[in-house]
Amino acid sequence: MISYRLLSDYINFLYHSRGKKGFGIHSPFVFQLVTQVVHSSVSSTIFTDIEAQRKLLLKDSTPLDVQDYGAGSQHLKGTNRKVRELAVHSLKPAKQAQLLFRLANHMKSQNILELGTSLGITTCYLAKTGHCSKLVTLEGCPNVAKMAQQTFKKLKLTGVDLVVGEFSQTLPKVLDGFSTLDFVFFDGNHREKPTLEYFEHCLKKKNNQSLFVFDDIHHLPEMKEAWEQIKANPEVTATIDLFHLGLVFFKKELAKQDFRVRF
Ligand SMILES: C[S@@+](CC[C@H](N)C(=O)[O-])C[C@H]1O[C@@H](n2cnc3c(N)ncnc32)[C@H](O)[C@@H]1O
C-alpha cells in the first residue's frame, strides 16, 4: 500500500519537477541527458530477450529460502518465497531497467558495479551495454544468486562476476579489483547508514565521468535522508532526482545543482 507520506512527496515532486522537454534546465549536459537519454523512445532487441526472461520468472513458482540482508521487503515477509514473488516485488520495472541501460551506454561506462543482483534482470541490462568491459554484481542470498546465474546462462552472458555475501564483507574486496568505477547501481539495503557507507567506499574509485545511481530515494525516510547527504557531499556536482531513481555526477565542469525531472 502506498503511504500518505510517499503520496504527498510524489505530489510535491510533480509540482516542482521539470518535464521531458527539459524546459528550465540551463545545464547543456543535463538538458541533453534528460531530452535524449532519460526520455528516449529507442528500443532494442536486447530488451526483448531480457523481458522474455522476466516473463518466465514471473510465472516461476519454485520455492526459495531467502535470506534478506537489507531493509526487508515492504511486500514479502518470512524467508520462504516463490521466484515469481521476487520477480514482482524485487526487480526494477522494465522502464527503469532500460533507463539504466541507456545511461550506461550514454556515459560509455566500462567499469560497472551493481549492489543488489536479486534475479539478475538489471544486471542483464548492464551487461548488454556497449562499452562494458568489467561488470561485478553483489548479492547476499546464495539461493537468489543461483537463480541469477541461471538467467545469465540462459541469456549467454559470460562476463558477469556475481559475488555472493553481505555487501559490507564483499564490497571492499571487490573494489580492490576495480581501477576505477564508471557506473554504480546501488539497489540493495535501503537504509541510511549502510547506503552512505557503500557510497563512501565507492567514492574512492570514482572518476570525472562516473555516474552513481541510487534506487528508491524517496520510498523510505532513511533513503530520503541518505539522498540528502549524498547530494551535499562536496565531491558531488549535479544530481538528478527522477523520484524512483537518483543520478549522481562528479563532473568538475558542472555546477553543483539538483534537478528534479519527471520520468
Ligand atoms: C531490490 S533487489 C535487486 C534487484 C535487481 N537490481 C533488479 O532490479 O533486477 C536487492 C537485492 O539486494 C540484496 N541485498 C540487500 N541487502 C544486502 C546486503 N546488505 N548484502 C548483500 N545483499 C543484499 C537482496 O538479497 C536483494 O536480492
pLDDT tens per residue across span 218-250 = 988 999 999 999 999 999 999 999 999 999 999
Ligand 1 contact, 70 CB (< 6 A): yes
Quote the ligand 1 centre to 185 CA distance (angstroms): 11
Where do we find the cell 514479502? 76
- Please, how many CA atoms are within 13 Å of residue 218, restricted to the half-sphere of its CB? 20
Q: Number of helices (H) and strands (E), helices first, in the chain?
A: 10, 10
Quote the ligand 1 centre to 186 CA distance (angstroms): 9
Candidates 47, 172, 148, 45; CA nearest to 90 is 148
Quote the ligand 1 centre to 5 CA distance (angstroms): 24
Q: Does residue 75 carry a pLDDT above 70?
A: no
Question: Given this model, what pLDDT does residue 14 score?
Answer: 87
Closest ligand 1 atom, CA of 66? 25
Q: Are 201 and 186 in contact (CB under 8 A)?
A: no
- DSSP 8-state symbol, 126: H
What are the C-alpha distances in Å from 98 to residues 71, 90, 104, 140? 25, 16, 10, 24
Ligand 1 contact, 111 CB (< 6 A): no
Domain limits of the chain? 4-43+93-260
C-alpha span between 53 and 57 (Å, rounded) = 6
**pLDDT-above-90 percentage for the chain:** 81
Question: Given this model, what pLDDT does residue 70 score?
Answer: 66
Quote the ligand 1 centre to 110 CA distance (angstroms): 22
Ligand 1 contact, 96 CB (< 6 A): no
Ligand 1 contact, 199 CB (< 6 A): no
Question: Given this model, what pLDDT does residue 202 score?
Answer: 98
Q: Does residue 72 carry a pLDDT above 70?
A: no
Question: Given this model, what pLDDT does residue 119 score?
Answer: 98
Q: Cβ-count burial of 227 within 10 angstroms (0-12 exposed, 13-18 middle, 19+ buried)?
A: buried
4-43+93-260, CATH topology level: Rossmann fold (3.40.50)
Q: Does residue 76 carry a pLDDT above 80?
A: no
Question: Given this model, what pLDDT does residue 78 score?
Answer: 67
pLDDT digits (tens, 9 = 90+) for 145-171: 999 999 999 999 989 999 999 999 999
